[in-house]
Amino acid sequence: MDITKKRIKTFEVHLLCWLIFFFYEVLVNYTLTGRLSNVFDYVGHYVLNVGLFYFNAYIAFEKSLNRKTKAAYFLILFIVLEIIGYTALKIILYQIFLFFKIYSYKSIPSNILFLAETIWRAVYFIGLSAVYWFFMNKLKTQDQIAELETQRLKSLLEKEELERNLIESENSFLKAQINPHFLFNILGFMHNLMLKHSETAADTLVLLSDIMRYALDTSQKDGKVELRYEVEHINNYILINQIRFGNKLNLKFNCDEDILAVKIIPLLFITIIENIFKYGDLMNPQFPAVMELKIEDKDLILTVNNKKNLKGAVHSSGIGMANIEKRLQQHYKNRYQLLVNSSEDKYSLNLKISNIYD
């Protein structure tokens, strides 16, 4: 739609310019000679002149000057052919006007004068066309330079944003290295104290420590971890919640053992699992929540199905899932598909990452 509007606007500008040019020439001619010609004469000649103008700009100059070799020779050849063609068409036009008695005289007056005037008009409009071509080519070049500059500035902004994100990540990482060391020492001390009084509480603290350690220390050279560690992290999260609710939660987590060596970005699935505990009904043994990880034709697939907790419904902000999609887009681009189906009482999710081994 924008391109069409732009073309219409360009056409209107060209038409206005030609109308101004036409009235200018008619006015000058009338001032010098004191007479006007008929409409057919004006229309015929200006169709020929305007045609020469655009032919020269968009074919002769465009084809010749954009050549890598012998551009000048081709341009001269085009101009000569244009003058010859223009002269031939003008003779034909005169003969048509004479046949239909548009002119009062019976033949083309003064062949030499006619030829000189024709060549002059051809050169005149070729010159105007050349000025137009150079002007438009200059604008086109400036637009290309501006576009390149815009792309360069955009690349610089993206680079600065990446560098800023990297610095923030490094700062967060450094903070995480300072605090966890102290935290895990305290947790180890608390475990030894609890072990004297409650083995269950001590084991729960160990699970909590493992969950936190994995969440804080998932750095790898390629930014990925083996799936076995993600699965272990999920199992620890499930187990600590089972202890919390007295092993009354009804959920199943199935994972094919032959895919545990597959590498993925860390902490990808935990938000999805957390949502099950936050919004799902896990107290109904007839409808347990089911999570499954498997490989199909080199595609990693996670499926989730659970009943919703309608009694203690909690409003979802959607931030967690939005962050998951953002990470998926950053790392897997167009290689993933995330489908969520949420009804009044049921929830299902299907995440597929294609070519997971790449």
Residue 169 pLDDT grade (very low, low, confident, very high; cuts 50, 70, 90)? low
The mean pLDDT value of the chain amounts to 83
CA distance linking residue 159 with residue 180, whole number of Å: 31
Residue 178 pLDDT grade (very low, low, confident, very high; cuts 50, 70, 90)? very low
CA distance linking residue 307 with residue 283, whole number of Å: 10
Residue 319 pLDDT grade (very low, low, confident, very high; cuts 50, 70, 90)? confident
- pLDDT for the residue numbered 181: 54
CA distance linking residue 330 with residue 161, whole number of Å: 14
- pLDDT for the residue numbered 159: 81
Token pair recorded at residue 311: 């009694």
Residue 298 pLDDT grade (very low, low, confident, very high; cuts 50, 70, 90)? confident
- pLDDT for the residue numbered 240: 85
- pLDDT for the residue numbered 15: 92
C-alpha 141, offset from chain centre: 24
338 strand-pairing partners: 351
- pLDDT for the residue numbered 54: 94
Give domain limits for the chain. 2-157, 251-358
pLDDT at 47 over 90: yes
Residue 49 pLDDT grade (very low, low, confident, very high; cuts 50, 70, 90)? very high
| 3-state SS, one letter per residue, for 203-264 | HHHHHHHHHHHHHHCCCCCCCCEEHHHHHHHHHHHHHHHHHHCCCCCCEEEEECHHHCCCEE
Evaluate whether 304 touches 349 at the Cβ level (below 8 Å).
yes
Which is nearest to 316 in space by CA: 279, 267, 272? 279
CA distance linking residue 249 with residue 284, whole number of Å: 8
CA distance linking residue 291 with residue 302, whole number of Å: 7
Write out pLDDT tens, residues 131-166.
999 999 888 888 888 888 888 888 888 888 877 776
Helix (H) or strand (E) holding 77: helix 71-99
pLDDT at 19 over 70: yes
Query: Is the pLDDT higher at 90 or at 71?
Result: 90
- 286 contact partners, CB below 8 Å, separation of at least 6: none
Write out pLDDT tens, residues 80-128.
999 999 999 999 998 888 888 887 666 666 678 888 999 999 999 999 9
pLDDT at 316 over 70: no
What CATH topology corresponds to 251-358?
Answer: Heat Shock Protein 90 (3.30.565)
pLDDT at 238 over 80: yes
- pLDDT for the residue numbered 183: 57
